Amino acid sequence: MAYYLGLDSSTQSMKAVVIDPETGCVAGGANVTFGTDLPQYRCPDGVLAHADPLVKHADPLMWLAALDKVLERLLKSGVDMGRIAAVGGDGQQHGSVYLNSRFEAVLASLDPERALPDQIAPALARPSSPIWMDSSTSCECRELEARFGARLQAETGSPAIERFAGPQIRKFAKAEPERYAQTARIHLVSSFLCSVLIGRDAPIDSGDGAGMNLLNLRTLAWDEAIASFTAPGLMDKLPPVGCGAAGGLHRYFAKYGLRPGIPVAVWTGDNPASLVGTGAWGTGVAVVSLGTSDTFFAALDAFRTDPAGCGHVFGNPAGGFMSLACFKNGSLARDRVRQEAGVDWTFFDRTAFERTPPGNEGRLALPWFVPEITPPVLTSGVRACFDFAQAAPEVRVRAVVEAQALALRAHAEWIGRFDTLRVTGGASRSPGIRQTLADVFQARVESIAVADSAALGSAMLAAHADGVSLAEMTAHFSPVADVCLPRAANAAVYDRLLPAVRELERLPPAGA
Ligand code: XUL
């Protein structure tokens, strides 16, 4: 029977997952890590080096090389590629790719004898792509705010945000008008890769499109006034908005054993895909995804926006909307705290919590090694209410894990109260982090037995586009593997610390 393939193009890697809905089993998978597998693109953590710490770009050709490689690895792993009946996918959100007028012709004539990067390079109007880690567009954000005020958030789901594609496009059009004029099409990472798979321009979905400050979520169409102000002629450079099947797979991919013409679902963002993969696409369960960035997201019962302006509203690929708050200093920051404290992961995940009491005697620290997104703070540096650098390793670890969990709770309040949190991402394996989340939120914390929830969600969306029910797949593929219960005795400790973390967010960096 039919298999379905999900591809996830995230910040640091490209993953592939193949599912078999009939047996409820994952039939195979493959992974390409940009830093180690594709060092020639000089993006060790998925990002090109740049003198300005606010600028974060990646090489879009690297994503194409990764697509070739991940499919080649999947084929070599022995998965029966001929059984794959549809392909879905997702990309890191907000990243934008700039193509010239040759793009469509190049796509239509892809030659299986040649690799994707060589063939598509002549169609790039801009050699690099700004990604979600970029925070260099404050000036453009202020200009958008001055022009549209509260309407921006009320209609697009977010106020003007540095990493969102709209402000990024505005900056590019202002700084490089000639290259902008040569740009015929602007894609997101998701719609760019989907276009390559179908051999023509693919639509942008409302899950990822909402991360641009350009999509009117009330009409689910590009907002003409905002687009025209963002950059001249932008409406003509945006692909259509769409969902469901984008088109049939291009024959180029037959070299990987895939059947040409099988449906390719419109790609979405990694967080909307993860909402599906974690089985949280219906209301009631919130997801905490602990990856390069930490994100908190949940399906929304109705369209509403964050009064504090930090959180976002995106389309939910299963229908309706989802909320999301993104914390940039996630796993990379935890790893740096661990390294600077000179401890291993067992210490970070367990020992530190055995040696310190819940609440850490009021010692909290936010590890903002890079500019933070939630709340938006451009000056990096650890925020601590005690001498962080001199404290014992276990105190530093608990201070960071508790402050991060409290910040999640503080910024998720507008979304609702949740009795159940579902944790995913690498750091969700940490017992210390899971118990802290359970205690801080006084919620049941469930881990699901899936490592790559975005890739899985994309595979489920591929199957859904082919008529398989999402509810049925959720029962099969997103089972709860482990539960961590809240300890009621700690509720008051964290209720007391919630105002303290809000205070901490307003402090200057330590040593400043
Ligand atoms: C969400 C965000 C990040 C990226 C990471 O708004 O910026 O979670 O999607 O891939």
Note down the domain range covering 85: 3-266
Q: What is the pLDDT of residue 208?
A: 98
Mutate to test the pocket of ligand 1, among 11, 34, 92 (most ligand atoms within 8 A of CB): 92
Mutate to test the pocket of ligand 1, among 270, 288, 332 (most ligand atoms within 8 A of CB): 270
Q: Which atom of ligand 1 lies closest to the CA of 312? A: 6
Residue 233 domain flag: yes
More confident residue, 478 or 421: 421
Q: Cα dist. 267→16, 238, 245 in Å?
A: 14, 15, 9
CA of 334 to the centre of ligand 1 (A): 17
Residue 448 domain flag: yes
Q: What is the pLDDT of residue 450?
A: 77
More confident residue, 479 or 436: 436
> Each residue of 168-196: pLDDT tens digit?
999 999 999 999 999 999 999 999 999 99
Q: Among the three residues 266, 297, 315, which one is the final residue of a domain in this structure?
A: 266
477: pLDDT strictly greater than 90: no
Query: What's the total number of domains in the chain?
Result: 2
Residue 240 domain flag: yes
Q: Is 424 in the pocket of ligand 1 (CB under 6 A)?
A: no
> Each residue of 280-312: pLDDT tens digit?
999 989 999 998 889 999 999 899 999 999 999
Let me know whether 177 and 99 are in one domain.
yes
Q: Given pLDDT bands bounded at 50, 70 and 90, which one contains residue 360?
A: very high
Let me know whether 252 and 355 are in one domain.
no
Let me know whether 235 and 312 are in one domain.
no
Let me know whether 254 and 287 are in one domain.
no
**CATH number of the CATH domain containing 365:** 3.30.420.40
How many CA within 13 A on the CB side of residue 236? 9
Let me know whether 312 and 249 are in one domain.
no
Residue 271 domain flag: no
Q: Cα dist. 195→32, 85, 266, 400, 479 in Å?
A: 20, 18, 9, 41, 33
Let me know whether 261 and 305 are in one domain.
no
Let me know whether 48 and 97 are in one domain.
yes
d(CA 7, CA 67): 9
Residue 358 domain flag: yes
Q: Average pLDDT, stretch 361-381?
A: 95
Q: Is 135 in the pocket of ligand 1 (CB under 6 A)?
A: no
421: Cα separation from own chain's centroid: 18
Let me know whether 358 and 452 are in one domain.
yes
> Each residue of 72-128: pLDDT tens digit?
999 999 999 999 999 999 999 999 999 999 999 999 999 999 999 999 999 999 999
Let me know whether 287 and 251 are in one domain.
no
Let me know whether 209 and 310 are in one domain.
no
Q: Among the three residues 237, 266, 295, which one is the final residue of a domain in this structure?
A: 266
Let me know whether 450 and 370 are in one domain.
yes
Let me know whether 235 and 86 are in one domain.
yes
Q: Among the three residues 245, 266, 287, which one is the final residue of a domain in this structure?
A: 266
